[in-house]
Amino acid sequence: MATPVQHDPAAAFARPYVVSWNLTYRCNLACEHCYLDAGPGKVKTFAFSDRSELSTEQCCRIVDQIAAFAPEAVTILTGGEPLLRRDIVDIVRYAVGKGLWVVVGTNGVKITENLARILQAEGVRGLALSLDALDPERHDAFRRVQGAWENTVEGAKILTGVGLPFIVQTTVGAHNRRELARIAAFAHDELGAKVWNVYFLVPSGRGSFVSDFSPAEYDVVLAELAGIQRTWADRMLVNAKCAPHFVRTLLSADSPAPFPKSFAGGAGGCPAGTHYLGIRPNGDVTPCPYLPLFAGNLNATGLRDIWDGSDLFNQIRQRNQLGGRCGSCELSSMCGGCRARAHGMTGDVMAEDPLCTHEPGTLRAAVDRLRPQAVEYGTAAAAALAWEPEAQERMKRIPAFVRGMVTKSVESWCAKNGVSLVTATVLDEIRAKMPTPKVFGFGAGKGAPEA
């Protein structure tokens, strides 16, 4: 029998599950809310003063670091528009060759059938496309380029034809507030998406100058999103992004969705610095791409050293040190508030999330009902898990978009149930109980994922 692989039990937050890598500031669109201030840069602060980009060779050295430290992580190559880099295929090829799970985050405008087939042949696991409205004119106005909607929709159809999985991501705002349900239907029925991510604006980069919802409006939109999530359960995974207190909405519902279980845990909710990191085009590392605070540069300091040793990363992991309501909130371990929003609106990365209306204590009973499900991610129990090779192979067939979430769920379930060895049978058992919509099969005998 093959020897199970043992993970290091000592490390608390042992490694990131997702690495979001902004490869370039260049962009063919000029979105008014861009957190990276890509394209025609307008933000003059220190955080955006170095707009240099790594060479191909430097990118390969960073790939080496990711492959050595976090080989299971989903690596999102994005921008700006990453497809504008002439060496994008070289970087993809090198990263895939090193065993990384590569996803390309693009506005979709430059997708052609030829390019899609090249990316597929090079081993890209999927793409993320942005679609902000059903009306082409409104989408184009938001993205500031005429014809962007047509190109993105065409790009999605090309990807479907080629068989390359993709998610649709929508930034919610006044421009599309009234049509979220219809965008969800369009993403699934017309474009064939299996995942629809709805992004809430974070005051970062050019997004600092775009008005967001009021806290009360935010709550209304999150409640609507919870309804859309229920509508599409079993067909499409619907996520709220940059809105970790979505868990509060779910827990407050009359008939709570099973999803809160997947939020339960010591560092659920905002994953910045606990399961997630960002890399800027010049190699600077941030806990999250939306948070312009830097923990080091990968040309000078190793990824592992930054992850383990940076004061910033260690600070942001201390949920019990959060300020204001987040610090005394019964939902802190499964929410934590958006750290980038706290920083963008108050200047203090540990401040309460100003757009949350929750009064701490009012959901204590609901949290207590969930508590048996909860497990502290990153404890020795979770980090000490061993994986049988067959189980590892099974995990490799999970679509990149949900891989991090599934890994967290498996760790959580095993810790809660006292399981120290992940086998294929254990995965089957977890699969049968997971709240995740059953659009991503990884059960026994299913072969390739359904997505």
45 residue type, one letter: T
Binding of residue 325 to ligand SF4 (CB under 6 A): yes
Binding of residue 188 to ligand SF4 (CB under 6 A): no
- Are 262 and 256 in contact, with CB atoms under 8 Å apart? no
Q: How many angstroms separate the CA atoms of 382 and 265, rounded?
A: 11
Q: How far is the CB of 200 from ligand SF4 (least distance, A)?
A: 8
Q: How many angstroms separate the CA atoms of 32 and 369, rounded?
A: 42
**3-state SS class at 124:** coil
**Count of chain residues binding ligand SF4 (CB under 6 A):** 28
Binding of residue 339 to ligand SF4 (CB under 6 A): yes
Binding of residue 263 to ligand SF4 (CB under 6 A): no
Binding of residue 317 to ligand SF4 (CB under 6 A): no
- Are 366 and 374 in contact, with CB atoms under 8 Å apart? no
Residue of 191, 329, 391, 405 that binds ligand SF4 (CB under 6 A): 329
- Of the ranges 18-26, 64-72, 266-274, 442-450, which one interacts with ligand SF4 (CB under 6 A)? 266-274
Nearest residue (CB) to ligand SF4, 82 versus 203:
203
Binding of residue 244 to ligand SF4 (CB under 6 A): yes
Alpha helices in 35-173 (DSSP H): 56-69, 88-97, 113-122, 136-143, 148-162
Q: Please give the residues from 189 up to 208 whose contact with ligand SF4 meets the rule CB under 6 A.
A: 202
Q: How far is the CB of 329 from ligand SF4 (least distance, A)?
A: 3
Residue of 88, 338, 382, 426 that binds ligand SF4 (CB under 6 A): 338
- Are 265 and 375 in contact, with CB atoms under 8 Å apart? yes
Residue of 85, 125, 139, 248 that binds ligand SF4 (CB under 6 A): 248
Tokens of 61: 């050295």
The burial class, CB within 10 Å (0-12 / 13-18 / 19+), for 4 is middle
- Of the ranges 229-237, 325-333, 367-375, 429-437, which one interacts with ligand SF4 (CB under 6 A)? 325-333
Q: Please give the residues from 101 up to 130 whose contact with ligand SF4 meets the rule CB under 6 A.
A: none
Binding of residue 219 to ligand SF4 (CB under 6 A): no
Look at the block and give the residue holding tokens 């087939």: 117
- Are 352 and 286 in contact, with CB atoms under 8 Å apart? no
Q: How far is the CB of 33 from ligand SF4 (least distance, A)?
A: 13
Nearest residue (CB) to ligand SF4, 363 versus 426:
363
DSSP letter for 305, please: H
Residue of 37, 53, 140, 353 that binds ligand SF4 (CB under 6 A): 353
- Are 59 and 89 in contact, with CB atoms under 8 Å apart? no
- Of the ranges 108-116, 148-156, 173-181, 285-293, which one interacts with ligand SF4 (CB under 6 A)? 285-293
**3-state SS class at 130:** strand
Nearest residue (CB) to ligand SF4, 198 versus 338:
338
Q: How far is the CB of 45 from ligand SF4 (least distance, A)?
A: 18
**3-state SS class at 129:** strand
Q: How far is the CB of 276 from ligand SF4 (least distance, A)?
A: 6
Q: How many angstroms separate the CA atoms of 228 and 181, rounded?
A: 6
Binding of residue 337 to ligand SF4 (CB under 6 A): yes
Of the candidates 110, 135, 116, 106, the residue with the CA atom closest to the CA atom of residue 31: 106
Binding of residue 31 to ligand SF4 (CB under 6 A): no
Q: Please give the residues from 357 up to 416 whose contact with ligand SF4 meets the rule CB under 6 A.
A: 358
Q: How many angstroms separate the CA atoms of 380 and 15, rounded?
A: 13
Angstrom CA distances, 229 to 90, 237, 356, 421, stand at 38, 7, 20, 33
Residues that bind ligand SF4 (CB under 6 A): 202, 242, 244-245, 248, 270-272, 276, 288, 290-291, 325-326, 329, 331-332, 335-341, 352-353, 356, 358
